[in-house]
A and B are shown apart, each in its own frame.
Chain A
C-alpha cells in the first residue's frame, strides 16, 4: 500500500461508491413475492466493487502518474463546463464561439485575429450544416 499512489486514491473513491451502493441497495427490496427486487442486482455489484477497490487499495503501488500538463486539461474542461452554461443562457452560437475563442487564443496562444476567425468560421460551419442543411436543432 502506498499513500502517494494514484491507485490508492482511485481505489478509495471506488470503495466509497461501492459502499454507498451496498448501503443504498440494502434499503430496497432484495427478494419479493414476484422474484428479485430492485436491490438484488445493485447489492451484488456493489459488493464486487467494494471488494475489488479494496484489493486495489491494498495492492496500490507501481508508477506515479505525471500530472504535468494536467492544469491545461483542467482549464479546458473548466472552459467547456462554462460554455455549457453559456449554451443554456445564450445559445449555441455564443457558447461555442466563446469556447473556441478561448481554446485558440488562451490555450494555444494564437493571435486574437486567428482565434476570432476560427471561432466565427467553425461556429458558422456548424450553423450551416446542422440547422440549415440538416434541420437539426442546436442548443
Chain B
C-alpha cells in the first residue's frame, strides 16, 4: 500500500508538463548519445550538470536518468546497422544484430531491440521499486571472492561464444586478458607490457578494441570484394520491417531472463551492463534449441543482451540510492549530482526524499514508453542507412569509428591503436578466431585480477577463500558446469554414435 501510494504521488509529479518535457529531453538526448559511438552517458551527464542547477532536483534527476537509460536504447542502432558498437554494452548485440541486418532483417532486429529494451527497462524499474532495500543488502554481501566468482562465471561464457574451435576461442579470450593487463598495476604501480610507451601506462580503452575489431575488421573483410556489394536488402512497408509474432514468441525467454539477470547484475556495484549483456547472451545460447545458429542472425541473440543492458539501469540505481555506492561511471556522476543538490544518498534516502524517489521511478515508466514510441517509428528511417552504396557506407563506418574513439579520450594514439586493432579484427576473421571472447577477456580481465588478488590478500594467499564462501562457491560451480558443456556435448555425440 505504501508502494502504491508512493507511486501515485510519483506519477502526479512526473506527469507535470515541465517534468514530462525534461523526461523527453533526457530520453531523446540519451538515444542520440547511445547511437554515437564514444559519446557516452557519463560525458553527457557531466556536461549537462551545470544546467541542472537552474531546474528543480526532481526535473534534473528525471532528465539525467533519461539520458542514462535512453543511451541503452540507442546503443543497439549502430551495432545492428553498421557493426559499430554504440556503447560497450552493445558489443554482444553486434554478433546477431548485424547478421540479421545482412539478411535483410535490420528492421526486425531494431524493433526487437526496442521491445526488449522496453520490457526489460520496465522490469528494472519494477525491481527498483519493489526490491531495492533487500537487494541492496544482498549486494553488500558481495566481497572480492564473490566478485571473482561472478567474473569467472562471465569468462566461462567463452564456451558459449566459441565458434568451430574451442582452442581458438580460449586463445582469443587469453589475448583479451593480456590486453587488459597492459598498463600500470594498481596494487604495485609496476608498468606491465607497456614497451616503454607513456600512452600505454593508462592501459587500452575497451572502446578502441571493440570498434577496431568489430567495425574496422568488418569493413576490411568487405573490401575484399572488388565489385561494390549490393546494398543490404530492406523489406518494404513498416509491417515487414518490424518483428513478426513468431519473433516475439521466440524471444519470450530472452525477454524474461535478460530482464531478471540484467537487474540482478546491475545491483552489484562494478559489475556493469557489459557483463550483464555477455552473461545474458551466454545463458540464452546455452538454453536455446537452436544454439548452433547463434551468431548467424538469431533474433534471441539481440533480445537477450539488449534486455539485460536496459534492465541493468534499474539495478544500478539500487546501490546508488539505497547505499550511496555508485557502480559505474554514470552512476558516479549521478551521485555527484545528488550530493551537489544537497541530498545524501544512502539507507535513509528514500525515506527522507519520497517525492524525489517516486517521481524518478514514475518518470522511468513514462520514459520507457516514450523511448518505445520514439524508437519504433524511427526503425524504417534508420534502416534506410543500409541502402547507401558500399563506397559511401564503408567510409562512413570508418569516420564514425574514428570520431567514436577520439571523443572517448581525445587521443590520437588511441586512433592509431584503432587502426592496429582493425587489422587484428580482420586477421581474426580470416583465421577463424571468434572476436567476442577477445572482448570478454578484455572486459573482465582487469576486474577479475583485482578480485582475485584482493581475495588472496584477505586469506593470506589461500585459494580456499574462493570456495569457502557460499555465493562465490555457487558461482564457481556454475562456471565449472558451463566449462563442462563441450565435454557433455561430445560425450552425448559419442553416445548417439554408438547407439546408431
B220 touches A41 (CB 8 A): no
In angstroms, Cα B175 to Cα A49, docked, is 8
Q: Which of A91-132 contact B (CB under 8 A)?
A: 92, 96, 99-100, 103-104, 107-108, 110, 118-119, 122-123, 126, 130
**A73 x B224 contact (CB < 8 A):** yes
Decide: A52 and B170 in contact? CB cutoff 8 A. yes
Interface centre among B187, B221, B225 (most CB of A within 10 A): B187
Interface size class of B (residues with CB under 8 A): 35 or more
Instruction: Report chain B residues within 8 Å CB of A88.
Output: 412
CB neighbours of A108 from chain B (8 A)? 228, 390-391
**Chain A residues in 8 Å Cβ range of B118:** none
B178 touches A17 (CB 8 A): yes
**Per a CB cutoff under 8 Å, which of B32, B395, B457 touches A100?**
B395
CA distance A68 to B223 in the complex (A): 11
Q: Is there contact, CB below 8 Å, between B177 and A45?
A: yes
User: In the bound complex, do residue B188 and residue A136 qualify as a contact, i.e. CB atoms below 8 Å apart?
Assistant: no
Q: How far is the CB of A69 from chain B (nearest CB, A)?
A: 3
B410: chain A residues at CB < 8 Å are 137
Give 1 or 0 for each of B401-439: 1 = CB within 8 Å of chain A CB: 011001100101001101100110011001111000000
Task: Decide if B422 touches A80 in the complex (CB within 8 Å).
Answer: yes
- Interface contact B403-A80, CB-CB below 8 Å: no
Contact B167–A68 (Cβ < 8 Å): no
> Which chain B residues numbered 443 to 477 have a C-beta less than 8 Å away from chain A?
449, 452-454, 456-457, 460-461
In the assembled complex, how far is the CB of residue B185 from the closest CB belonging to chain A, in whole angstroms? 4
Verify if B168 is at the interface (C-beta below 8 Å from A): yes
Closest to A119 in B: B395
Q: Is the CB of A107 within 8 A of B223?
A: yes
Q: Report if B190 contacts A (CB, 8 A).
A: yes
Residues A118 and B185 in contact in the complex (CB < 8 Å), given A42-B192, A84-B419: no
- Chief secondary structure at chain B's binding surface: helix
Complex contacts, A46 vs chain B, CB 8 Å: 178
Given A76-B223, A87-B415, A107-B223, verify A24-B171 contact (CB < 8 Å): no
> Is B431 a contact of A65 with CB atoms below 8 Å?
yes
B32 and chain A: residue at smallest CB distance: A134
A16 to B403, CA, bound (A): 34
Instruction: Indicate the member of B167, B391, B395 with the most A CB atoms within 10 Å.
Output: B395
Indicate if the CB atoms of B178 and A24 lie closer than 8 Å: no
Indicate if B304 sits at the interface (CB-CB under 8 A): no
B36 at the interface (CB under 8 A from A): yes
Q: Is B181 an interface residue (CB 8 A)?
A: yes
Decide if B193 is an interface residue (CB 8 Å cutoff).
yes
Q: Which residues of chain B have C-beta atoms less than 8 A from A14's C-beta?
A: 171, 175
Known: A45-B178, A122-B399. A34 touches B457 (CB 8 A): yes
- Contact between B457 and A73 (Cβ–Cβ < 8 Å)? no
Minimal Cβ-Cβ distance residue in A for B220: A73
- Give residues 23-74 of A contacting B (CB, 8 Å): 24, 28-29, 31-32, 34-38, 40-42, 45-46, 48-49, 52-53, 55-56, 59, 65, 67-70, 72-73
Known: A49-B175, A104-B391. A136 touches B426 (CB 8 A): no
Q: Contact residues of B with A, CB < 8 Å?
A: 32, 36, 39, 167-168, 170-171, 174-175, 177-178, 181, 185, 187-188, 190, 192-193, 216, 219-221, 223-226, 228, 390-392, 394-396, 398-399, 402-403, 406-407, 410, 412, 415-416, 418-419, 422-423, 426-427, 430-433, 449, 452-454, 456-457, 460-461
Report 10 cross-chain contacts, Cβ distance below 8 Å, ordered by A residue.
A6-B430, A40-B452, A42-B178, A49-B175, A52-B167, A72-B223, A72-B226, A81-B419, A84-B416, A100-B399
Known: A42-B192, A92-B403. 16 other contacts (CB 8 A): A17-B178, A35-B453, A37-B190, A49-B174, A69-B223, A73-B221, A80-B216, A80-B422, A84-B412, A84-B415, A96-B398, A104-B392, A122-B399, A126-B399, A130-B403, A136-B403
